Structure 1
Amino acid sequence: MFKEFDLSNLENSKELLEKFLDENRKKVDELLKIENKTYKNFVLPFQEIGESINDFLTPIFHIDSVKNSEITTKVYEECIPVISKYETEISQNENIYSALVDIQSKEKSTLNNIQNKVLENEIRDFKLSGCHLENNKKKRLEEINLRLSEISHKFSQNLLNATKSFEMIIDNFEDVKEIPASDLELAKFEEEGITKYKFTLQMPSYLAYITYGTSREKREEIYKAYCTRAPENGKIIEELLALKDEKVKILGFENYAQYSLATKMASKEEDVVSFLEELGSKAKNRAKEELEEIKALALKDGISDFKSSDMSYYSEKLKKAQYDLDEEYYRPYFEQQSVLNGFFDFLHQMFNIKFTKANTPAWDEKVKVYDLSEDGKIVARIYIDLEARKEKRGGAWMNNWHTYHRNSKGEIKLPTAYIVGNFPQSTEETPSLLRHSDVVTLFHEMGHALHHLLSKIEEPFVSGISGVAWDTVEFPSQFLEYFSYDKDVLKLFAKHYQTGEVLDDAAIDRIIKAKNFQSSLATVRQVEFALFDFKLHQKLYKTEEEIQNLLDSVREKFSAMIPPRYNKFQNGFSHIFSGGYSAGYYSYKWAEVLSADAFYMFIDSGNIFNKELGIKYRDTILSQGGSYDMDKLFFNFAQREPSVDSLLKIDGIIS
């Protein structure tokens, strides 16, 4: 039923991939020889070929980000040119393009909406890949695509190497005395009979010091190390931008932002910029007030020259003072397995899906694998890898492996996905105890996963997250995230790992009240990232200096706190330089409008566990994948257009 995760032959991946792609080339040639091409005899098997490549490649690329080593990097770098060449060949094959156009013109009236959506998307994507261009331009596009693949991976690898290479060793207990016991335990080591503490740029370790580290100098040291990582990425960014600009000009676009919007729900550049500027303007005054509150607290410690490296430390102190909210107090109540069990219970109550542990191999002993079932029938599989490891890329993400579809033999193929996090590690003495922010992240990534896994669309190119417009792909993840702040939901799993005691109402109220703590600062920060990204792709910025000047100008307009000159945030902005969000980072906020509005429907219904509404959401949004544009699906669910005010209300920016 499900393919097992198996990379026993990893070192031979390049040869296996070449052989596999050659077989696919032959299959495509056979399809092109068909005299009377139809949706059934041409488009269906063509989609299957695409799905088979995802099946083959995903584990190879995935292992490089979760168990990075010299071998995984070597294999990744060997496979990139092979797959890039194949994808360019296919996407620029005029015969496939002509066949799709021909089938569309002949069969449009007899095909259903979903089949027509597949054809529309495919024909659009062939045009976007330059299929209609003359050969010398196609050749140049092929070279550009290959180089972009190589250097965006290099960007990511530089960041990972820089993250791995930094260590801050502290032997004075005074400098670590405020750090929570569980974090301190992970940092502690003995050397020549002396107890010392090691902090790295891995997210749990970095956060532990920047948030609780007593020494101001050490906080600045680790902050500076973090935001000056991989300076060599500055030159990579110059090359990435130049290549992207050249690519889209060959394709007939004025700039990369315009090209990016061709596949998104937002249709005009000015719509994106004005949306972000409106959000930034509405949040900025309150953000400045929030910053002044932090500075006032720091002033009590005699700090008049408040710095960016002081922000997390004094924000945490202020949060504790205002809400008596100490993240550490909560961690014993958020033991990883307990959280998962309660989360699964919630998802069962909401969407009528059940999670059952599967006994199947994964890439690490701490990965948990579950089968999902609806009405007693297995429908999907998920791999959950939550704990930080040295060889794991930072952050959290969902990765889709198989997509729900019906193959040409009429068999239903079931979907699989991975969720990856960098949460506190478990040891033999202590289980993995999460922060509430980790719980929020888990809900977020599960939102993505369920969008993929609960699809009931039989065409693989528009099933699950395939074919979903990039600026709406965050809608289901952010929607689910809101439930991680609900009292009744939290009570399902917030249980002390030693005593079993459920977190009390007063403690939960503090989490809920603190949800919008510094929400305006968070909003202007996201606006800063998104406007920088979008404007960066509206014209060609040629040098590191020009790029920095753009970032400075965005900060000047919207940021409450201007970071130090040495802060090279852009060199670590992997979302846009190695993660597919180029001219698309705005989509987090764009999609949040949908998610906040959908969540308000549950609040307004008077029952957060409104199963009828939950099933409606599952059936009108999650199960539909990318088969229809999200604005249409949202309307089907809500019976109205979304409102930006729901987002501003939920963030406490307006009342």
Structure 2
Amino acid sequence: MFKEFDLTDLENSKKRLEEILEDSKNKIDELLKIEEKSYKNFVKPYEEVGERLSDFITPIFHIDSVKNSEITQKVYEECLPLISNYETEVSQNDNIYRSLKVIQDKSYRSLNDIQKKVLENEIRDFELSGCHLNNEIKERLKEINLRLSELSHKFSQNLLNATNEYEMIIEDYEDVKEIPASDLEFAKFEEDGKTKYKFTLQMPSYLAYITYGSNRQRREEIYKAYSTRAPQNGKIIEEILSLKDEKVKILGFENYASYSLSTKMAKKEEEVINFLEELAKKGKDRALEEIEELKEYALKDGISDIKSFDLAYYSEKLKEEKYDIDEEYYRPYFEKTSVLNGFFSFLNKIFNVEFEEIKDAKAWDKDVLVCNIKENSKVFARIYIDLEAKKEKRGGAWMNNWHSHYVDMDGNKKLPTAYIVCNFPQSKEGVPSLLRHSDVVTLFHEMGHALHHLFSKVPEAFVSGIAGVAWDVVEFPSQFLEYFSYDKEVLKMFAKHYETGKVLDDEAIDKLIKARNFQSALSMLRQIEFALFDFKLHQKLYKTESEIQGLLDNIRDNYAVIKPPEYNKFQNGFAHIFAGGYAAGYYSYKWAEVLSADAFYMFIDSGKVFNKELAMKYKKAILEKGGSQDMDKLFYEFAQREPSVDSLLKIDGIIS
């Protein structure tokens, strides 16, 4: 039913990949010899060639992110040029492109809407890859694509190495006295008969000190280490931007931003800029009020010049004073296993699905939870959940799709699989993994992505699950599910004290909900700063590190309510756009958030968040249809209206 995750022969992956690629090329050559090509005899088997390759390569690239080692790096670096060259060759194969065009022209009336969407997407992507260009230019594009793959991996590896190299050792208890007990316990170690505390740039550890560290100099020390990581990435960024600019100009685009929009819901550059600037304009006054409130609060401590490294510390104190919120009070109620079990119950209640742990299933680590997902007692998907921070794991949180749901040439249904990876506080002997509520929100977010992929009922792999979904709306289902992590009824399903079993009381939950919009305008402006930097960075070629810094400084002058110190090189750690898929697409988070907020508002307007009828409608209209239709059409099918930006601003408490 499901392929097991098994990389026991990882070292020989290159040889096996070479065999699979050779076989794939031969199969494509055989398909191209068919005289009377049809969707059934050409597109379906061509689609399955891609699925077979994804089945093999996804775990190899995945293991390098979750269990990074010299061996995984070596295998990744051996396989990357092979897969990059193959994909470039296929995407530039004019014979495949022309075959798809012929099938589209000849069979259009007999094709169903999903098949038409597959052909429309594939033909567009072939054109975007330059398949119509001469061989010399294609060869240059191939070189560019390979180099870009290498650079993005190097960018990510530099960040991981820099994160793992840094340690801040503290001996004076006064400097750590405000840090929550569970974080402090994890940081504590004994050396030379003394108790000492170690903080690193791993996210749980970094957040613990930057949020609760009593010593301002120490806060700046760890903030500076974090914001100056991987300075060598500055030169990598220069090369990435130069190559992307060269690539899109070869393909006939004025800049990378316009190339990026050719596959997105937003269609014009000014549409994106206007959208971001409108949000910034509506949120800036509120953000200025929020920062003034924080400055006034910091004055109590004699801080008249609040800095970036003070924001988390004083924000946490102010939030605690305003809402009587103490993160440490909540964490015993968010024990990892309890949260997961309650989360599964919630998903069962609104979507009619069950999660069943498969204890003997193989995974990359003993702490990975593997579950089959059932609907009406029938298994339809599998998920791998890896939540705790580890030294060899890349930072952040993400969902990675492995297999897609589709129906093969023989009519057999293939079942989907996905991985969820997070970096939550580690369990330690005697202390389980206790999450912050923000970790709970992250879990809901990543599960939203996973459900979008796993709930698919689409029979074509090319547009099933998240495949074929426009990048600026792919965050819609993840952000939508996030909103439920603040609902009282949902929280009571899993917010139980890990020692006493006591459910988190109404008063504590109410405080959490009220605190949700604490500094929401500041948070929104920060996201807009990142999004504008990303998008404008790709509207023309910025050639040097100083030019790139100049653009970022200019955007901060207009939109940031507090300027970071000059040494802050945020861009060198902006993995979303330089090592992920978000180049000229970071605006997607806000673009999709409009859809997610508006969809969730329908539940609020219905008078009950646990509206099963509405949830099942959402499941059928959005999740089950994957990329088989454009999201604006699917959203209209669900909501029966266009999305409104005001729903987002209302939910965030920025307008009333």
**Normalising to structure 2: TM-score of the pair?**
0.99
| 1:416 aligns to 2:424 (yes or no) | no
- Aligned amino acid, residue 239 of structure 1: E
Residues 479-533 of structure 1, C-alpha deviation per residue, up to 9 Å, x if partnerless? 0000000000000000000001000000000000000000000000000000000
CA distance in 1, matches of 2:5, 2:326: 40
Separation (CA, whole Å) in 2 of partners of 1:119 and 1:500: 54
- Say which SS state the counterpart of residue 493 (structure 1) adopts: coil
Partner of 1:130: 130
1:355 aligns with 2:350: no
Offset of 1:198 from its aligned partner? 0.3
2:475 aligned with 1:463 = no
Alignment of 1:456-535 (within 5 A): 456-535=457-536
1:513-592 maps to which residues of 2 (within 5 A)?
513-592=514-593
Shift of 1:51: 0.9
Provide the C-alpha distance between the structure 2 equivalents of 1:108 and 1:343, rounded to a whole number of angstroms.
44
- In the alignment, the residues of structure 1 paired with residue 280 and residue 163 of structure 2 have an alpha-carbon distance, to the nearest angstrom, of 31
Letter paired with 1:461: F
Aligned to 2:462, what secondary structure does the other structure show?
helix
Listed one character per residue, the Cα deviations across residues 369-412 of structure 1 (whole Å, up to 9, x for unaligned) are 11001111100000000000001000000000000000111100
CA deviation string 1:351-380 (max 9, x = no partner)? 111101012011111110110011111000
2:241 and 2:460 map into 1 onto residues whose CA distance is: 34
Aligned residue in 2 for 1:2: 2
- Please list, as runs of the form range in 1=range in 2, the aligned pairs for 1:85-164 lying within 5 A after superposition: 85-164=85-164
Output aligned runs, 1:218-297, within 5 Å: 218-297=218-297
- Please state whether the residue corresponding to 1:394 is helix, strand or coil: coil
Question: 2:312 aligns to what?
Answer: 312
CA distance in 1, matches of 2:608, 2:274: 35
Structure 1: give runs of 5+ residues left out of the alignment. none
The match for 2:626 is: 625
SS in 1 for 2:6: coil
Equivalent in the alignment of 1:369? 370
Question: 1-side partners of 2:227 and 2:288: how far apart?
Answer: 23
Q: Aligned to 1:108, what secondary structure does the other structure show?
A: helix
Aligned to 1:199: 199
The SS at the match of 1:321 is: helix
Which position in structure 1 is the counterpart of 2:73?
73
Could you say what secondary structure the match of 1:624 adopts?
coil
**In structure 1, what is the equivalent of residue 615 of structure 2?**
614
Q: Deviations over 1:132-186 (max 9, x none)?
A: 0011110100000000000110000000000000000001111001101100111
Distance 2:195 2:502 in 1: 34
Quote the Cα distance in structure 1 between the aligned partners of 2:328 and 2:578: 34
Number of aligned residue pairs: 655
Aligned-partner residue type, residue 593 of structure 1: V
Task: Look up the equivalent residue of 2:475 and give its one-letter code.
Answer: E
The CA distance in 2 between the partners of 1:567 and 1:588, in whole Å, is 23
The CA deviation at 1:466 is: 0.2
SS of residue matched to 2:110: coil
Q: Which structure 2 residues correspond to residues 158-173 of structure 1 after superposition, within 5 A?
A: 158-173=158-173
The within-5 A match list for 1:20-35 is 20-35=20-35
Alignment of 1:390-405 (within 5 A): 390-405=391-406
> Hey, what's the Cα distance between the residues in 2 that align with 1:12 and 1:296?
61
Distance in structure 1 (CA, Å) of the matches to 2:594 and 2:286: 20
Output the amino acid matched with 1:175.
D
Distance 1:350 1:54 in 2: 32
Give the deviation of 1:295 after TM superposition.
1.2
Could you tell me which runs of 5 or more consecutive residues in structure 2 were left unpaired when the two chains were aligned. Answer: none
After the TM superposition, which parts of structure 1 deviate over 3 Å for at least 4 consecutive aligned residues? none
Shift of 1:289: 1.2
CA shift for structure 1 position 327: 1.1
1:421-461 deviation digits (Å, cap 9, x = unpaired): 00011122011110000000000000000000000000000
> Partners of 1:286 and 1:422 in 2: how far apart?
32
Using the TM superposition, give the Cα deviation of residue 18 of structure 1 relative to its aligned residue in structure 2, in angstroms. Answer: 0.7
1:407 correspondence with 2:431: no
- Aligned partner of residue 48 in structure 2, secondary structure: helix
TM-score (norm 1): 1.00
Shift of 1:543: 0.3
1:608, distance to aligned residue in structure 2 (A) = 1.1
Once residues 260 and 327 of structure 1 are traced to their aligned partners in structure 2, the CA distance between those partners, rounded to angstroms, is: 40
Secondary structure of 1:219's match?
A: helix
2:447 match: 446
Partners of 1:57 and 1:215 in 2: CA distance? 47
Does the residue aligned with 1:266 lie in a helix, a strand or coil? coil
Q: How far did 1:205 drift? A: 0.2
Code of the residue aligned with 1:144 in structure 2: it is I
Counterpart Cα distance in 1 of 2:335 and 2:267:
44
Structure 1: how far apart are the matches of 2:60 and 2:328? Answer: 37
Q: CA deviation at 1:306?
A: 1.3
Shift of 1:127: 0.2
Which range moved further: 259-268 or 298-307? 298-307
Task: Letter of the 1:95 partner, please give it.
Answer: N
Q: Comparing 599-608 with 140-149, which one deviates more in the overlay?
A: 599-608
Match of 1:635 in 2: 636
Amino acid corresponding to residue 185 of structure 2 in structure 1: E
CA offsets, 1:14-39, max 9 Å, x none?
A: 11111110011111011011111000
| SS of alignment partner, residue 133 of structure 2 | coil
The one-letter amino acid of 2:342's match is G
Q: What is aligned with 1:46?
A: 46
- Provide the secondary structure at the position in 1 that maps to 2:421: strand
Shift of 1:309: 0.5
Distance 2:332 2:38 in 1: 59
Aligned mates of 1:515, 1:303 — CA distance in 2: 26
Letter in 2 for 1:188: K
Q: Deviations over 1:562-592 (max 9, x none)?
A: 1000000000000000001000000000000
Cα deviation for residue 609 of structure 1 reads 1.1
Q: Deviations over 1:182-214 (max 9, x none)?
A: 001110111111110000000000000000001
> 2:61 & 2:471 partners in 1: Cα distance?
21
Q: 1:402 aligns to what SS in structure 2?
A: coil
**1:181, 1:356 → 2: CA distance?**
33
Deviations 1:623-648 (A, max 9, x none): 00000000000000001110000000
Structure 2 CA distance for aligned equivalents of residues 226 and 288 of structure 1: 26
Q: CA RMSD in A?
A: 0.5
Q: Which shows bigger deviation, 300-309 or 389-398? A: 300-309
